[in-house]
Amino acid sequence: MDTLTPSLARIRGISALWLLLSLLPAAFASYSIGVGRADSTGPAAEIVFMGYAKMDQKGNGIHLRTFSRAFIIDDGEERFVFVSVDSAMVGHDIRQEVLRKLQSQFGDLYTERNVMISGTHTHSSPGGFMLDILFDLTTFGFVRESFDAIVNGITNSIVRAHNAVVPGRIFIAHGQVLDANINRSPQAYYNNPQSERDKYEHDVDKTLTQMQFIGADDKPLGAINWFAVHPTSMNNTNHLVSSDNVGYASILFEKMMNKDALVGKGSFVAAFASTNLGDVSPNIRGPKCEFTGKNCSDQYTCPGKNEMCFASGPGKDIFESTSIIAHKIYKEAARLWEKGKAAEVVGPVRVIHRYVNMPEQSAEFYNETTKKMEEVRGCVPAMGYSFAAGTIDGPGSFAFEQGTTTPNPFWNAVRNFLAAPTENDIRCHAAKPILLATGRMRLPYQWQPRIISTQVAMIGSVFIAGVPGEFTTMSGRRLREAIKTVVNDAFDDETFVIVAGLCNTYSDYITTPEEYQIQRYEGASTIYGPHTLTIYLKQYQELAQAAVQKRTLSPGPSPPELLQSRLITLVPPVLYDTPKWGFNFGDVTQQPVQKVVSPDDTVTATFVSGHPRNNLMTDNTFLSVERLEDDEVWVSVATDADWNTKFEWTRTSVVLGSSEVTVTWQVPQDVLPGTYRLRHNGYYRYILGGVYPYYGVSNSFQVVVPALNIRRRYYG
């Protein structure tokens, strides 16, 4: 009797299933589909957030837990996995560690060829997981807890999707979301050719694209939504872990589909993934001066040394702004889902992946000035002066300004002390003055990647281009058009091209060559020079052609795995915890003030606590809002993953290792009346060794709901 390897047995099994399904009516199923979700929340306290590069923006609690959401699509011959994870970005070593863990369970079923991992780009999650020095510099080096949390979350979401694979169908729909995003670098955008800009109504993409997954039994399985917006509604003053606007939109969609399930626990999985968001801000009031409220200068500066230029809105604070943007994109996604007029996706699944050494690449570019085609090349990675100026979503430091195209002797001297660019580097990167020659900086290890991941997945007539960075609005539009030009002839029906952002590797920004000349933040952060996009267009056309023609491509050069290096970490471990004098861990030092509350009231309680880093409470919670049921059992109705709760940790004594947490619950409009209490769960580290669990509960209080709210809950 033949003995099959696990992967070969799986392939034969799925092929047999596919043969069976092909004999059934077309309405039954087109693919095998699996969806899964897992908690990816990193350390909630004392770790610098990744995104704003602000070293004093350390976490001190949780507003929204972060999740990884995985989607498996299999046509019987080939399998594709798309993951959207609530993270600032994804690095090569994260992906490789995920693949190693999957290989131990599934052999060669999941590889770098068919697994695409996309970061949502939230700026409010713990950093220290990227390994490239530039990205971990402001987080005080590598943070193993952050790295493991993301890796385990992604891995677990894929495993859960794998275990949930069922026959199903895929549909695609498009909608429009207005008043949810603006272009934060219009000066650069308007440097693109007028004839090109005239093709589009807006200077940012307003389209929301939704891929719907339905079981063969018509059971809703999940959805992926792509909408161009930065998850920066929570600005750099925030210190609570949050998945930001797109993460909250995912929660809203899942709550709609999973009814009364706790956040993160229902079977339906909804992702709001990143796309060409590079120059797109959710802060739709636009940039204003901090104190005067007046318009900023063209360089987005304000008079005086202490007044910064930043954008905000549309709400009165960052929480309300996050909620407004989230509800806008969620409502359009819900409308598309309920409309029922999406186009069905049918056809084969093919995935093409290739590593590319960007400084060694060349491509042809039509020069509008000379009216000639010319060969252009990639550059060794480098960051420009305007990178240090930051953006209107998060201003930078010192006196750097956006739009800087001339160097400064002082900063050049500082740069050269670290690593001097070559004359060829300077010529290659013009009009960018080089502030950091990251490609020449080797100590203690790699500062930015040279070798990046490129990937295209074809699902019928849908092409998902997984790009290793933040494409600007026009860069994304050019990429979609470039792919369409090489694949349209292969399809009778319309071709759909989706740009999936921040996939597999993070290589900062990708602007058009015209935008690059203006040297806004995005252009200064386009690390392979002015023709980074030109090279990518060529690369992704080759990937798409190979998918259509069912050809294989060379895998390309392997990037270095930095996890094997001697990684630097300056984040101290938790040494010990002690309770407040006269108290035990979990004791309540401040009870809820109100005995009776109504919707929109806020209830708080403060507990003696251990350090949140002692246990990340993965797939668990640091807090619960509990309601007393008829059989005298306390049932959790909300956790630290809910919008209406906050978990805030405070160190009360560094020497003694004492701390406390405040649990906050804003009573929601759709609450049920009854008896409630607040609960805190945690772990403390004993000074003589060992980590031990504890919990505490507050006094109970009554929630009274007006009759009108009850009627709305049950009758709409």
Write out the two tokens for 359.
Answer: 């400084």
Helical (H) or strand (E) element with 247:
helix 244-258
Q: Helix H segments across 278-353?
A: 318-339
DSSP 467: -
Catalytic choice (281, 323, 453, 624): 281
- Residue 318, class by beta-carbon neighbours within 10 Å (0-12 exposed, 13-18 middle, 19+ buried)? buried
Tokens for 414? 């500082």
Residue 141 gets which letter from DSSP? B
* 269/54 Cα distance (integer angstroms): 33
Name the E strands within 333-397.
343-345, 349-357, 362-367, 372-377, 383-384, 390-391, 394-395
In the three-class reduction of DSSP (H, G, I as helix; E, B as strand; rest coil), residue 271 is classed as: strand
Close Cβ partners of 433 (under 8 Å, ≥ 6 residues apart): 384, 385, 404, 405, 406, 407, 408, 519
Q: Which residue has the tokens 């690390």?
A: 527
Residue 281 is a catalytic residue: yes
Q: How far is the first Cα of the chain from the last one, in angstroms, to the nearest whole number?
A: 62
**Kind and range of the H or E run holding 309:** strand 309-311
- Tokens in use for 77? 């011959």
Kindly state the DSSP code that residue 518 receives in the 8-state scheme: H
Provide the 3-class DSSP secondary structure of residue 256. Answer: helix
**Count of C-beta atoms within a 10 Å radius of residue 2:** 5
**Measured distance CA(544)–CA(466) in Å, rounded:** 11
- Give whole-number Cα distances, 618 to 84, 125, 252, 621, 622, in Å: 18, 15, 21, 7, 10
Task: Quickly count: other Cβ atoms within 10 Å of residue 55's Cβ.
Answer: 12
Take residue 586 and report the two structure tokens written for it.
């979990």
Residues with catalytic annotation?
A: 281
